[in-house]
Structure 1
Amino acid sequence: MPTLICGSVAYDTIMVFPDRFKHHILPDKVHMLSVSFLVPEMRREFGGCAGNIAYNLHLLGGEPVIMATVGQDFGPYAERLDALGIRHDCTRVLPTHFTPQCFITNDLDDNQITAFHPGAMSESHDNRFDHVEGLTLALIGPDGREGMLARTRELKAAGIPFVFDPGQGMPLFSGEELLGCVAAADYLAMNDYEAALMTDKTGKTLAELAAMVRALIVTRGADGSTIYVDGREIAIPAARAEAVLDPTGCGDAYRAGLLFGIERGWDWETTGRLASLLGALKIAQRGGQNHRFDRASLAVAYREAFGCELPAW
């Protein structure tokens, strides 16, 4: 069953600052902030929310279809996707633009300072998915503003259930626009910071937002996650990571687990635990798409993390 993943495909330039940002940012001087961080460690990775989610869903055995707008420099990424067997026939190349670029600096506390150049992503509203047969589920992640609004209308009109995951794109929308997207969606996924921003912008409580969708998922980093469904709050524990090396892409890995569980009709406890485990597996590796697992190793890790069995598929 193909799953449409709408959002960014980007190159991530990831740098590590071997100290803590808080030691170098003076709270009483933020109105005139001018800081420079020496970053002796730097690498370039394949990333973007859509690319990362698709990578994890593919590892699980799903059939992701990436829908993104990219630029003249997309060639190496396309070759990688082809080698992995991940569909990108909904990806449109604009030769006059760059592929989106993300510049990320992490400190020793895993805090991040990120600069993002959208490039071709700003033209995502012209993409189409009507040639993809058998779509039963989709996710709308951070993308160009008009593209996110267009996908919301199109998926709703086509009757395809979807997860609305506004992420870093949330500041692009008014409270009224966000409520319109939530009302059209079947599922809403955010981290705890984004959830606070959503409630502030819309004037709705989490309980009120949860009542508008089949399920509301809020991730809380090392504190696990909460799934609001049918008037209940299901607490999902965080799986213990073998190492904490790089948080980049952890939320995307979590969302792949959500999509996989939803596709298979699993209960929310099982789905949430799988999502949590994928986040833990990712954080133990650098980059958004360098971790590996198969069904057998995933089943063992799930049992060790939660003391119960992962359903077979």
Structure 2
Amino acid sequence: MPILVAGSIATDHLMHFPGKFSDQLLAEHLHKVSLSFLVDQLDIKRGGVAPNICFAMAQLGGSPTLVGAVGEDFAEYREFLQSHGVDCNHVHVSPTQHTARFVCTTDTEMNQIGSFYAGAMMESAQIEIAPIWDAVGAELAVISAYDPAAMVKHSAECRDKDLAFVADPSQQVTRMDGTQLAELIEGASLLFTNSYERELLESKTGYSTADIDERVEVRVTTLGSDGVEIVGEFGRVHVPIAQERARLDPTGVGDAFRGAFLTARGWGMSWERAAQVGSLLATMVLESVGTQEYTVEKGAFGERLAESYGDECAADVLPHLA
């Protein structure tokens, strides 16, 4: 099914620190931290929440439409995404701002310290969802992390026009206040967070977990190494992580999960199967440096599904892969 994915579009500057951040932080001096980490690796990669989700969908044969704001420096990135099956015809291009940048350092424990320059993303509120929805015949809109004002606006637009949407506040939980977060999630078909983001969302809004469950149809919470929990009227589903072969960089893992999960749901897969497909794709991102450096090959993907979740899972999923 055609899915609109609205969110940040950025270039990632990914660095590796050969040590532990925790060893450099003194508890009694956290109020005046001034540190510089000498890194031993720099990779410049394509990134941003929305393209990462779209790339995952396209790898599985989905039909994603990218929604967001970029600078005139986006041309090469656009060509790459289009060549991999992502519709970029509705991206807003700023004549004055650069495409956003994400600068992130990862330590040996997979902890991260990052900074995000918004650039053209701050023009995202100029975008309207409904005309793009109509143009592509969309069935779902994903409102993911980018300009908070745009996120709230687009959530309200979806409610007003009765368009099914996914609330995915992600990193912007730290930037948005309780009122914005409450407006973002109200009426969402799905809410995606990790466990820490969910607790912070609850703290800022004053909602309990039960309050949130009353406001969204389905809550999907990723739990790191403990897998993923899905809660809705059907009850509670827990899926463990897929078996890992390496742990190189966690950047974009959650985005890949979301893209694969939603694509599998579009196939008609159960919540459990969708989470299994999402968990495997997330693991494939963890095994690479960069958020769009993997390729889904039908045979190999089926083998890994069987390895992690059994032959029946692989048999259910394989017919849907290109």
- Provide the TM-score with structure 2 as the length reference: 0.93
Contact 1:60 1:294 in 2 (8 A): no
- Which residue of the partner structure matches residue 74 of structure 2? 74
| CA deviation string 1:171-197 (max 9, x = no partner) | 333323322222231110001110110
Amino acid at match of 1:266: M
Contact 1:135 1:160 in 2 (8 A): no
Q: Aligned residues: percent identity?
A: 33
1:20, 1:247 → 2: CA distance?
Answer: 15
- Which residue of the partner structure matches residue 30 of structure 2? 30
| CA deviation string 1:216-268 (max 9, x = no partner) | 01101111111111162211101111101110100000001221122223211
Contact 1:182 1:188 in 2 (8 A): yes
Amino acid at match of 2:61: G
Answer yes or no: is 1:232 the counterpart of 2:231: no
Q: How many equivalent residue pairs?
A: 313
- Which residue of the partner structure matches residue 43 of structure 2? 43
Answer yes or no: is 1:114 the counterpart of 2:114: yes
Contact 2:273 2:313 in 1 (8 A): no
Answer yes or no: is 1:180 the counterpart of 2:183: yes
Answer yes or no: is 1:95 the counterpart of 2:92: no
Greater Cα shift, 250-259 or 76-85? 76-85
Instruction: Give unpaired runs (5+ residues) of structure 2.
Output: none
State how 1:268-283 maps to structure 2 within 5 Å: 268-283=271-286
1:184, 1:178 → 2: CA distance?
Answer: 12
Q: What is the CA RMSD across the aligned residues, in angstroms?
A: 1.4
Query: How many angstroms does 1:273 deviate by?
Result: 1.1
Answer yes or no: is 1:309 the counterpart of 2:313: yes
Judging by fraction of residues, say which structure has more helix.
2
1:198, 1:23 → 2: CA distance?
Answer: 29
2:195 to 192, 195, 198: 192
State how 1:130-279 maps to structure 2 within 5 Å: 130-131=131-132, 132-230=135-233, 232-279=235-282
Query: How many angstroms does 1:295 deviate by?
Result: 2.8
In the superposition, relative to structure 1, how do residues 200 and 92 fare at CA in structure 2: closer, same or farther (>3 Å)?
A: same
- Which residue of the partner structure matches residue 64 of structure 2? 64
| CA deviation string 1:90-141 (max 9, x = no partner) | 2111121010100000000000000000111111011134142310012111
Greater Cα shift, 78-87 or 119-128? 78-87
Contact 1:102 1:115 in 2 (8 A): yes
Amino acid at match of 1:270: R
1:109, 1:177 → 2: CA distance?
Answer: 33
Answer yes or no: is 1:296 the counterpart of 2:313: no
1:90, 1:157 → 2: CA distance?
Answer: 21
Report the secondary structure of 1:168's partner residue.
Answer: helix
Query: How many angstroms does 1:82 deviate by?
Result: 2.6
Report the secondary structure of 2:275's partner residue.
Answer: helix
Amino acid at match of 2:26: L
Query: How many angstroms does 1:309 deviate by?
Result: 2.1
Query: How many angstroms does 1:85 deviate by?
Result: 3.0
2:195, 2:85 → 1: CA distance?
Answer: 33
Instruction: Give unpaired runs (5+ residues) of structure 1.
Output: none
2:122, 2:42 → 1: CA distance?
Answer: 27
Greater Cα shift, 82-91 or 92-101? 82-91
